[in-house]
Amino acid sequence: MMNISSIRIKKIRKISFMLAVLIFSTPLTVYGSIPLTAPSAILIDQNSGKVLYAHNEHERMYPAGLAKMMTALVVLDHLNPDDVIVVGTEIYQVPPGAIRAGHQSGEHITVRNLLRGLMIRNGNDSGNVLAQHTVQTIRGQTGIPFVHVENIFSGLMIEKARELGANNTSFTNPNGLHHDSLYTTAYDMALIARAFMQVPLLRNIVAELEYVGDGMEGREVYGARILNYNWVNDNELMISGSTYYYTYATGIRRGSTPQASDCLAASAERNGVRLIAIIFDSPDPGRWLDARMLFDYGFDTYSYHTLLESGQHIQTAFVYNARRGEDNILDVRVNEDFAALLSQRELSRIRQEIVFYERFLAPVDLNEEGYYESYFENHFEYADIASTVLIAPIEENEVLGTITFTLDGNALFIAELHATREVPERTIDSDMDYIIAWVQNNVFSLSAWPYWIALAGTLFGFLGMSLWINERRRGKKSSSYSGTYR
């Protein structure tokens, strides 16, 4: 027997939960120090955006060539990778000494290859060409002076940054060439790098060690001027044989100016864990060593843990007021998967909370109402498996409530709880249908005929016995009367 007082019904609660990104965007305590050279750096999980390590991540820094990641994102918002661009005089707006991809005025080249020149070669001329054509496409006109193009395109970059949540970032050109008003933070640049790596084309480009081919990727266009290129990736983490080669590196790119010093946006993947590191003002070889240390820390400390699987059984409920003849034990499940990148310490602090919606909760406190005691006392054989009491009717796959996973009180993930089957409500009509069906199935069924025969035999026996007794009584009376009148 299960004691009524052991049944606990959750009270009605309407909760507004934070999105998972809020917890993932908050720097967490780092267990152990990392001896970085960089005065500002951050390490995040590429999949979720979760911050794994942060050091002065909101300090304003100059991004140098890392700004080109935003240039690429803006370009692909407006241009198709297969679009063909005719290079103009905008390539002459690159200052002396700045890195060039080698474009020439009048050349035909695809947007995809301009992005290669931008990211693999770090070509500032590639950035100018992309910005010029993007603004001309948006405005629907040609011949816009590059000084105006630069202002318009920088505005698009800032707007895109705000969309990504990079609120402490400002751009003044498409290349990252120094300007006092061109700045960012390690946190903001991590958001930009994550968005960059979510674009398959860009992710593939920064993973290329080189590009050898013509600007049109082998396409022939009559009368077009087409140049051949040989661009080599200068990311030391990816170059086999380099002193700083990192086996798991997948991108992204470095940047340098006298004012910014040496910077790096790097990505790496191991066993399904994908990380992004942003490092500012760390003179060589500092940026490469910092990146390796950050990645080693991330891979050694964090791994994915599956907390939910679609179809997983969460709880078993007893359903009050279920239709007679129906099973009143209901399994509750989830229809979603959830895996989180966690350290072992974080995993130990994960908590889950199950809340059922008001509509499905029993109407009164079972601990106080004696009526329910009499109703449930014959059903407590389910006490070992039923931990919640719900009320019918319930539809198959109906959402009954939620299960929430939290880390230190912050919501990581919320999943809906679903009923595995229908549980109809008990009504007067359903009771009558049950009784009629029971009679039909038990009284008039073939299996009941032996009982009917036994009953008929019993009745005939009683009838025969009654007739025999009555005959004997009549016989005694007849003998008595015949003796009187002899």
Domains of the chain by range and CATH?
Answer: 4-19+307-426 (2.60.410.10), 31-301 (3.40.710.10)
Q: What is the pLDDT of residue 468?
A: 75
- Of 167-176, 202-211, 349-358, least confident by mean pLDDT is 349-358
Residue closest to 341 by CA, chosen among 333, 332, 350: 350
Which three-class secondary structure string do you get for the chain?
Answer: CCCHHHCCCCCCCCCCCCCHHHHHCCCCCCCCCCCCCCCEEEEEECCCCCEEEEECCCCCECCHHHHHHHHHHHHHHHCCCCCEEECCHHHHHCCCCCCCCCCCCCEEEEHHHHHHHHHCCCCHHHHHHHHHHHHHHHHCCCCCCHHHHHHHHHHHHHHHHHHCCCCCCECCCCCCCCCCCCEECHHHHHHHHHHHHCCHHHHHHHHCCEEEEECCCCCCCCCCECCEEEEECCCCCCCCCCCCCCCCEEEEEEEEECCCEEEEEEEEEECCEEEEEEEECCCCCHHHHHHHHHHHHHHHHCEEEEEECCCCEEEEEEEECECCCCCCEEEEECCCCEEEEECHHHHHCEEEEEEECHHHECCCCCCCCHHHHHHHCCCHHHCCCCCEEEECCECCCCEEEEEEEEECCEEEEEEEEEECCCECECCHHHHHHHHHHHHHHHCCCHHHHHHHHHHHHHHHHHHHHHHHHHHHHHHHHHHHHHHHCC
The single-letter code of the amino acid at 274 is: R
pLDDT bin (cut points 50, 70, 90) of residue 471 is confident
* Residue 472 Cα to chain centre, angstroms: 92
- Of 274-278, 445-449, 462-466, least confident by mean pLDDT is 445-449
Percent over 90 (pLDDT), the chain: 68
CA–CA distance from 159 to each of 149, 183, 375 (Å)? Answer: 15, 14, 64
Q: Are 239 and 245 in contact (CB under 8 A)?
A: yes
Looking at the DSSP bridge assignments, the partners of residue 399 are: 418
- Bigger pLDDT: 468 or 204? 204
CA–CA distance from 258 to each of 65, 202, 255, 261, 291 (Å)? Answer: 12, 27, 10, 5, 21
Q: Is the pLDDT of residue 255 over 80?
A: yes
- Of 95-109, 323-337, 406-420, least confident by mean pLDDT is 323-337
Using the Cα atoms of residue 240, residue 243, residue 245 and residue 251 in order, give the sign of their dihedral. Answer: negative
- Bigger pLDDT: 462 or 15? 462
Q: Which residues contact 102 (CB under 8 A, 6 or more apart)?
A: 117, 121, 123, 125, 227, 229
Burial (Cβ within 10 Å: 0-12, 13-18, ≥19) of residue 279: buried
- Bigger pLDDT: 424 or 115? 115
- Of 25-34, 147-156, 393-402, least confident by mean pLDDT is 25-34
The single-letter code of the amino acid at 281 is: D
Q: What is the pLDDT of residue 373?
A: 46
- Of 166-175, 354-363, 458-467, least confident by mean pLDDT is 458-467
Q: What is the pLDDT of residue 40?
A: 98
Q: Are 406 and 24 in contact (CB under 8 A)?
A: no
pLDDT bin (cut points 50, 70, 90) of residue 369 is very low
What whole-number distance in Å separates Cα of residue 44 and Cα of residue 278?
9
Looking at the DSSP bridge assignments, the partners of residue 107 are: 225
pLDDT bin (cut points 50, 70, 90) of residue 445 is low
Burial (Cβ within 10 Å: 0-12, 13-18, ≥19) of residue 485: exposed
Q: What is the pLDDT of residue 483?
A: 53
The pLDDT mean for the chain works out to 85
